[in-house]
Structure 1
């Protein structure tokens, strides 16, 4: 029996994934700042909204209003009631919030996991985005504490049967890459004075995938991947 595929909302990426992500699993999108991680995550979220799904997006770095303004300008349906965007950044004006999302979601990976599971008692989100998980790793007391917490996070998300996308700005993401079901790596570089962005899939359990590095652009309508152009020599 073929697994249920979940579209990322990016045609070229779905093609690289042989039809999309496998539903109900946890995936990592990694890349340095400015490589397009949030754009990819927003495509994934909006594809769910377009399908009538409930989507939970937790932002731990970029203020929610900035996300709404930037992606609303690009035509994304960021005001749709099916799209729940929680601002757990440390810069948010907390005194205007009914709930302190930073304290609830961003203090630790354990708190994040518990808060998401608790939300599922009210709404069964089909897609969850955590963008980025980097600060929770930095905040952990020890590497071993983080490893245990991340394992619990992955197991908890799998039980919820949601398709989960987490982003990371760290190049070294050993425990995350080991435990998640798939890894999408974004990079950018300068070639002959021109900025080039690339995407490659380094892991995708349960499916074949496009092994080549592909170039992509971020346009005024989002991410567009050139699946006809291969780029070699990248490590």
Structure 2
């Protein structure tokens, strides 16, 4: 059954089983109650009968007033309150009363918020016995039951609640001086196709949105295509054996000023001529700056944008959530049925993915997602001025790319000379020697092959 939380069903492998029990744990302020109430209200909107059991010192009227501030709140949910000091001292009375309420209402879903104070004053052995009594009652209720609780990660593992629930969802947060990052992970799950690892989430005016760590995880086997995609420069297409392979992931590496962005825009504009929608992902230039840049070559990027045949996803590196970013990209692809993708440049991930291996894995996941969606992608990477081909990319993502094109420039007596080499092209023959090129008013233009 759906949790009603965007992205959470996917993380759980499709939702939660019915009946089942889920423990939503975390430290204060991480959004445990919000997650539980939002899921409960989503079920109520679908016509399910739901029960919210609030362990609190506040009366029901005040709890409703607080919850009504959420846009997702449903007035028709059943709320029952139990005084927190009473359940700490006498949980058995609470269990009997709750059993009577459940027998009367017969709810499809129940949220007990929080469960950790129940029997708090008991010795540990007695508290464990009570929890097993609660578990026996849960089996009779035949409902989807959620608990919330305030616990540190290590305390969750040793808590008796962990023994009686089917799923454990743990929420945490990093209080960075510039931005708060929230994480959700599965410590225990009954779903067979759940996604492990730390996923990110946000709490907004409409509640919680979860961004899975790797939305491309489910589809690894995509049939290779022999169709060719023009990169927008005829002689480069010829060097590539007829163009880029459809659905491939391709890397342009070069130092500052070699024309990586121009070649990428050339690729997007070529798609526009053929009626193939495109997406530009960047971290530096705003859409307006990109429009101006493209207009210098006579390209009406702004017109494409207004006609919805182009989407631009611009994110400042300091504000980047890689998981959310990937979800945004996938949505954009599906909205305009994009066929081409230009990502400029992969260094934008350096700020939030400091670990080199993690960065490479994320870029590999992005490339896999592009391929899964039937998109041919072009990524750029900044290199230092070096003629050693083994050093063309500092973050070593060349193994991820199907094609690697190296752009270089050197100072000669007549000025800067630019050259292009195809370092590799998976699944296709290609020109082995370098070619001279220039950037002019027509864009990226190859002049001739540099034959020995």
Q: Do they fold alike, i.e. is TM over 0.5?
A: yes
**Secondary structure of 2:327's aligned partner:** helix
Unaligned runs of 5+ in 2: 1-223, 384-391
Q: Distance in 2 between matches of 1:190 and 1:229?
A: 16
Q: Once the two structures are superposed, what CA deviation does each residue of 1:170-217 show, in whole Å capped at 9, x if it has no partner?
A: 343463100111111111110125111111110111110001111101
Q: Distance in 1 between matches of 2:351 and 2:436?
A: 30
Tell which has more relative contact order, 1 or 2 (C-alpha 8 A, sep 6+).
Answer: 1
Q: Is the aligned partner of 1:21 residue 2:234?
A: no
**Secondary structure of 1:176's aligned partner:** coil
**Secondary structure of 2:379's aligned partner:** strand
Q: Once the two structures are superposed, what CA deviation does each residue of 1:143-182 show, in whole Å capped at 9, x if it has no partner?
A: 2221222222222121111001111113434631001111
Q: Is the aligned partner of 1:86 residue 2:299?
A: no
The 1:208–1:223 alpha-carbon spacing in structure 2 relative to 1, beyond 3 Å, is same
Question: What's the counterpart of residue 150 of structure 2?
Answer: none
Q: Is the aligned partner of 1:38 residue 2:257?
A: no
Deviation at 1:24, TM superposition (A): 0.6
Deviation at 1:29, TM superposition (A): 0.6
**Secondary structure of 1:122's aligned partner:** helix
The question of whether the paired residues in 2 share the 8 Å contact of 1:62 and 1:89 is answered with no
Q: Is the aligned partner of 1:154 residue 2:154?
A: no
Q: Distance in 1 between matches of 2:323 and 2:228?
A: 29
The 1:123–1:71 alpha-carbon spacing in structure 2 relative to 1, beyond 3 Å, is closer
Q: Distance in 2 between matches of 1:228 and 1:187?
A: 14
Q: Once the two structures are superposed, what CA deviation does each residue of 1:99-131 show, in whole Å capped at 9, x if it has no partner?
A: xxx84xxx1443332221122342221001111
Question: What's the counterpart of residue 65 of structure 1?
Answer: 288
Deviation at 1:85, TM superposition (A): 2.6
Q: Distance in 2 between matches of 1:120 and 1:42?
A: 17
**Secondary structure of 2:276's aligned partner:** coil
Q: Residues 194-209 of structure 1: matches in 2 within 5 Å?
A: 194-209=415-430
Q: Distance in 1 between matches of 2:237 and 2:346?
A: 23
Q: Residues 1-235 of structure 1: matches in 2 within 5 Å?
A: 3-78=226-301, 79-80=303-304, 81=307, 82-89=309-316, 103=319, 107-170=320-383, 171-173=392-394, 175-230=396-451
The question of whether the paired residues in 2 share the 8 Å contact of 1:128 and 1:164 is answered with yes
The question of whether the paired residues in 2 share the 8 Å contact of 1:31 and 1:169 is answered with yes
Larger Rg: 2
Q: CA RMSD in A?
A: 2.1
**Secondary structure of 2:262's aligned partner:** helix
Q: Distance in 2 between matches of 1:209 and 1:178?
A: 17
Which piece of structure 1 moves more, 79-88 or 217-226? Answer: 79-88
Runs of 4+ in structure 1 displaced over 6 angstroms?
A: none
Which piece of structure 1 moves more, 54-63 or 180-189? Answer: 54-63
Aligned length: 217
**TM-score in terms of structure 1 length:** 0.85
**TM-score in terms of structure 2 length:** 0.45
The 1:87–1:149 alpha-carbon spacing in structure 2 relative to 1, beyond 3 Å, is closer
